[in-house]
């Protein structure tokens, strides 16, 4: 019995990581089934992933020694089909119709057309090349989907909508399949994996940056609360209001050709001193 090659071992690791990515939405669908509603969750990523895994399964069937590609993507296609079915069942009527149309166009129409055209009009290596290009293109689109989540994180300065485990496993998945594609010299598997690894790295860096900022902000707020910050905050708000009033008085005085009152300045200094002491100004 021949010893397993390095590429086979890396491929098995890739399968395990990829399955963890495919299994990660289970928590989301537990919530959907429990509440019997899809709420604000989006179904398009699951439809796109179903298309991708279906096409990669077909690619693995065409490729010599493509068993590792077949196993992981075949299992992934089954899981995505379950997710899509559950989503459509619990989606509101309008959303249900929209997602059914997308399933018909992408998963039935497009995928079916690829199978029919390549089986009837192409042969041998040409068929594998065409399917490889299509799979790479679809996967690039799938890896590009997190860009919207990254934009949301930067805009809100919060990682609430970017689950860490999914982010980490997408990064790890891209890296493992990069190595595998180099070992087996598979260009179609390599290009989207490299881009996925780069995007995953950026996404992970953004997560770490804004997660640290969120923690720092939380610790600062907790420290302020311990130091009696409500008085300081209220005092700062009152001082800001008072400052605006004083500026208005100054403008009115200057418009009339008068001088700005020294008493007003003294009052402002008294207020500022009270705020520094933590006195809540009513």
pLDDT tens readout for residues 257-280: 444 443 444 444 454 454 444 444
> What does the mean pLDDT of the chain come to?
78
Whether residues 82 and 201 fall in one domain: yes
Whether residues 198 and 233 fall in one domain: no
Whether residues 116 and 233 fall in one domain: no
Q: What is the pLDDT of residue 159?
A: 74
Q: Which residues of 262-281 are buried (b: 16+ CB within 10 A; e: fewer)?
A: eeeeeeeeebeebbeeeeee
The answer, yes or no, to whether residue 119 has pLDDT greater than 60, is yes
Q: Is residue 1 part of a domain?
A: no
Q: What is the pLDDT of residue 90?
A: 93
Return the structure tokens found at 152: 């949301």
Residues 6+ apart with CB under 8 A from 275: 232, 235, 236, 238, 239, 281
Q: Is residue 190 part of a domain?
A: yes
The answer, yes or no, to whether residue 164 has pLDDT greater than 80, is no
Q: What is the pLDDT of residue 210?
A: 85
Contact 244, 218 (CB under 8 A): no
pLDDT tens readout for residues 10-37: 888 989 988 988 998 898 899 889 999 9
Residue bearing the bigger pLDDT, 216 or 7: 7
Last residue of a domain, one of 202, 221, 240: 221
Domain count, the chain: 2
Whether residues 234 and 215 fall in one domain: no
Whether residues 144 and 205 fall in one domain: yes
Residues 6+ apart with CB under 8 A from 131: 55, 58, 59, 62, 114, 118
Nearest by Cα to 177 from 52, 82, 43, 62: 52
pLDDT tens readout for residues 171-206: 888 889 899 888 888 888 888 888 888 888 888 888
Whether residues 114 and 240 fall in one domain: no
Distance in angstroms between the alpha carbons of the first and the last residue of the chain: 85
Q: What is the pLDDT of residue 128?
A: 92
Whether residues 32 and 126 fall in one domain: yes
Residues 6+ apart with CB under 8 A from 254: 260
Q: pLDDT grade, residue 73 (50/70/90)?
A: very high
Whether residues 157 and 267 fall in one domain: no
Q: Supply the range of the domain harboring residue 199.
A: 6-221
Whether residues 253 and 135 fall in one domain: no
CB atoms within 10 A of CB 201: 13
The answer, yes or no, to whether residue 247 has pLDDT greater than 60, is no
Return the structure tokens found at 143: 């890896």
Taking the C-alpha atoms of residue 84 and residue 213, their distance in angstroms, rounded to an integer, is 35
Contact 55, 134 (CB under 8 A): yes
For 69, the enclosing helix (H) or strand (E) is: helix 67-90
CA 258 to chain centre: 60
CB atoms within 10 A of CB 29: 17
Instruction: Determine whether 253 is exposed, middle or buried from the number of CB atoms within 10 Å of its CB (0-12, 13-18, 19+).
Output: middle
- What share of the chain has pLDDT > 90, as a percent? 28
The answer, yes or no, to whether residue 110 has pLDDT greater than 50, is yes
Q: What is the pLDDT of residue 135?
A: 92
Residue bearing the bigger pLDDT, 213 or 222: 213
Nearest by Cα to 147 from 188, 208, 196: 196
Contact 165, 203 (CB under 8 A): no
Q: What is the pLDDT of residue 222?
A: 58
Calculate Rg over the CA atoms of the chain: 29
Return the structure tokens found at 196: 């996925």
């Amino acid at each position: 019995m021949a010893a397993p090659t390095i590429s086979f071992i890396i491929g098995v690791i890739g399968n395990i990581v990829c399955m963890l990515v495919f299994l990660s939405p289970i928590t989301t669908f537990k919530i959907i089934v429990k509440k019997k509603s899809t709420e604000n969750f989006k179904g398009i990523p699951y439809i796109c992933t179903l298309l991708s895994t279906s096409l990669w399964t077909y690619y693995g069937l065409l490729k010599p020694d493509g068993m590792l590609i077949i196993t992981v993507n075949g299992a992934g296609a089954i899981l995505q089909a379950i997710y899509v079915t559950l989503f459509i069942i619990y989606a509101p009527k309008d959303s249900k119709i929209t997602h059914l149309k997308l399933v018909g166009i992408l998963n039935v129409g497009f995928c079916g057309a690829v199978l029919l055209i390549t089986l009837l009009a192409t042969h041998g290596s040409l068929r594998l090349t065409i399917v490889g290009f299509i799979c790479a293109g679809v996967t690039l689109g799938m890896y590009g989907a997190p860009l919207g989540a990254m934009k949301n994180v930067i805009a809100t300065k919060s990682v609430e909508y970017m689950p860490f485990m999914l982010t980490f496993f997408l990064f790890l998945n891209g890296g493992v399949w990069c190595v595998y594609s180099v070992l087996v010299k598979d260009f179609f598997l390599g290009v989207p994996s490299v881009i996925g690894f780069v995007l995953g790295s950026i996404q992970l860096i953004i997560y770490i940056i804004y997660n640290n900022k969120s923690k720092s902000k939380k610790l600062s707020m907790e420290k302020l609360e311990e130091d009696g910050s409500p008085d300081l905050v209220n005092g700062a708000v009152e001082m800001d209001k008072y400052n605006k009033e004083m500026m208005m008085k100054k403008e009115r005085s200057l418009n009339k050709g008068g001088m700005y009152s020294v008493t007003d300045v003294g009052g402002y200094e008294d207020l500022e001193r009270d705020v520094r002491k933590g006195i809540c100004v009513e």
